[in-house]
Every structure is written in structure tokens, then in C-alpha cells.
């Protein structure tokens, strides 16, 4: 029963996450646990547990006397801090992953190929569904996750989980179709990192990783400003 409960909570969290990333509710909207439970045809318990998890990601907030509400989108200052934190932990991980560069390279190649397959499906579809959107996010993060997997440091892995959860919140600004996604830009930048790793060029790979994260910040801030003006 405990396993089924965990699976149910994960399913409920995914359904609520989908609605959040699709901007079904405006920032500040109250999220009733009982109302969501009725809508999803589950008991309030898995909804409550899902909300606790989503609160850690920053996508929802708990407000006294109101309960859970949809969190506001990240502003430019918050995005800057998030990407700065990512640079700190990801460069530290890449530094350590280079100790076995051949093993790192093999898994980066696989992750890069998987990302390319997702992009091909997005282009073939012509329209980005939620499922394709999530596949892109998963493949995009998968490239970065390889670096942490090869860092050999359990505490760095724990730290990046926090950063990863808040990246979900930043992705709220990316909903809006293919034009709002940095699919090709991110893929090309990953390719530049990969090429340096192929050459065993430590400093070059570090520089390309930093440049990539700087570009992610620039695109995200620009898109957030554009949507705010719109």
C-alpha cells in the first residue's frame, strides 16, 4: 500500500505540475486541496503531499489564512541568482567529472543524442504539446545531470536537486509554443560543451558551460520582460 500511495502522490503532482506549467491559474490564485482532490478524483491526502513537494520547487506558496497559492513568476533578479547558483555547482561538478573524462564523454554523447531525438520529434509535430515540452526539459536537464553523475560527490548531487526544482519555476516563462522555447539554442550550446570534452579541453569546457548558463539567463530574462509587456 505504501508503494501505491507514493505512485499516486507522484501522479497527482505531475497533473498539478502540468497545469502550473500550462499557466492554467494566474499567479496568486488559491489552490484548494479539497477542490483539486474532487477534480482529480482522489482523496485530499495525495494532493496535500504533492503541494508540499511543489512548494519546495517554488511553484506554489503557502500563505497564512489562504492556504496554497500559485507563486509569482521569477523576476530578473531571482533568475540571476538561480543561474549564478547553477554556475557555482555545475562548474564544481564538471571540474570533478573531468577526472575520468572518457567515461564522462560517453554519457554526454548519449544524452546529447537523446536531446537531438526529442528536437526532431518537436519539429515533426509542428506544435509543442505538454508531453513534448516535458521531454525537452527532461532531455535538456539530462545533459547537465550527466556531469553531476560523474562528479562523484553525493553532496553536490543533493545541492543540484534544490537548484533543479527551482528551475521548474523559471520554466513558467517558457510556456507559449515553439517560439518561447530555447530548443535549438540550448542544443547548440550543449554541442559546444561536448566538443570541448571530446578534445579533453578542460578549460574550454568550463568556459562553454559558463557561457551556456549565461545565455540561458539572457534568454529567460528577455522572455520574461516580453511577456510582462504583453
User: 174: domain CATH number?
Assistant: 1.20.120.530
Q: Are residues 27 and 103 in the same domain?
A: no
Q: Are residues 192 and 152 in the same domain?
A: yes
Q: Is the pTM of this model over 0.95?
A: no
Q: Would you place residue 127 in the very low, low, confident or very high pLDDT band (cuts 50, 70, 90)?
A: confident
Per mean pLDDT, which of 55-64, 123-132, 192-201 is the most reliable?
192-201
Angle at 158 between CA 44 and CA 83, to 5 degrees: 95
SS3 content of the chain, % helix, strand, coil (to 5): 80, 5, 20
Q: Are residues 187 and 149 in the same domain?
A: yes
| pLDDT over 70 at 176, yes or no | no
Structural domains of the chain, count = 2
What is the b/e burial string over 84-115, where b = at least 16 CB atoms within 10 angstroms of the residue's CB? ebbbebbbbbbebbbeebeebbebbeebbeeb
Q: Are residues 99 and 172 in the same domain?
A: yes
Q: Are residues 142 and 190 in the same domain?
A: yes
Q: Are residues 213 and 103 in the same domain?
A: yes
Domain-terminating residue out of 70, 85, 115: 70
pLDDT value, residue 131: 82
Local structure of 45: helix, strand or coil: helix
Dihedral sign for Cα 17, 22, 27, 30, please: negative
Q: Are residues 57 and 114 in the same domain?
A: no
Give the structural domain span for 87.
Answer: 76-229
Kindly report the backbone phi and psi dihedral angles of residue 169, in degrees, each rounded to the nearest multiple of 5, phi listed first.
Answer: -65, -40
Q: Are residues 12 and 53 in the same domain?
A: yes
Domain-terminating residue out of 54, 70, 86: 70
pLDDT value, residue 2: 47
CB 91 within 8 A of CB 205: no
Query: How many other C-beta atoms are found inside a 10 Å radius of the C-beta of residue 54?
Result: 23
Q: Are residues 114 and 215 in the same domain?
A: yes
Q: What is the pLDDT of residues 134-175, one digit of tens each?
A: 888 889 999 999 999 999 999 988 888 778 877 777 776 555
Burial class (CB in 10 A: 0-12, 13-18, 19+), 49: middle
pLDDT value, residue 27: 87
In whole angstroms, what is the distance from residue 102 CA to residue 106 CA? 6
User: 23: domain CATH number?
Assistant: 1.10.10.10
Q: Are residues 39 and 97 in the same domain?
A: no
In whole angstroms, what is the distance from residue 8 CA to residue 12 CA? 6
Q: Mean pLDDT, the chain, as a whole number?
A: 88
Q: Are residues 126 and 143 in the same domain?
A: yes
Q: Are residues 193 and 157 in the same domain?
A: yes
pLDDT value, residue 214: 97
CB 156 within 8 A of CB 44: no
Kindly report the backbone phi and psi dihedral angles of residue 59, in degrees, each rounded to the nearest multiple of 5, phi listed first.
Answer: -75, -30
pLDDT value, residue 1: 43
pLDDT value, residue 158: 83
pLDDT value, residue 58: 81
Amino acid at each position: 500500500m505504501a508503494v501505491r500511495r507514493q505512485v499516486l502522490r507522484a501522479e497527482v503532482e505531475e497533473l498539478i505540475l502540468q497545469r502550473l506549467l500550462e499557466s492554467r491559474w494566474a499567479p496568486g490564485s488559491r489552490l484548494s486541496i479539497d477542490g483539486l482532490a474532487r477534480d482529480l478524483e482522489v482523496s485530499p491526502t495525495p494532493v496535500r503531499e504533492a503541494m508540499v513537494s511543489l512548494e519546495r520547487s517554488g511553484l506554489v506558496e503557502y500563505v497564512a489564512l489562504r492556504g496554497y497559492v500559485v507563486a509569482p513568476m521569477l523576476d530578473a533578479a531571482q533568475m540571476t541568482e538561480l543561474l549564478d547558483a547553477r554556475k557555482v555547482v555545475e562548474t564544481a561538478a564538471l571540474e570533478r567529472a573531468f577526472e575520468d573524462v572518457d567515461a564522462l564523454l560517453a554519457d554526454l554523447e548519449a544524452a546529447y543524442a537523446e536531446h537531438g531525438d526529442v528536437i526532431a520529434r518537436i519539429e515533426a509535430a509542428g506544435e509543442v504539446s505538454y508531453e513534448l515540452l516535458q521531454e525537452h526539459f527532461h532531455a535538456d536537464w539530462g545533459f547537465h545531470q550527466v556531469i553531476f553523475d560523474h562528479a562523484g560527490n553525493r553532496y553536490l548531487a543533493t545541492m543540484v536537486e534544490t537548484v533543479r526544482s527551482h528551475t521548474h519555476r523559471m520554466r513558467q516563462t517558457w510556456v507559449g509554443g515553439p517560439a518561447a522555447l530555447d530548443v535549438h539554442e540550448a542544443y547548440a550550446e550543449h554541442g559546444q560543451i561536448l566538443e570541448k570534452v571530446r578534445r579533453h579541453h578542460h578549460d574550454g569546457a568550463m568556459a562553454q558551460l559558463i557561457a551556456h548558463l549565461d545565455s540561458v539567463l539572457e534568454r529567460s530574462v528577455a522572455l520574461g520582460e516580453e511577456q510582462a509587456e504583453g
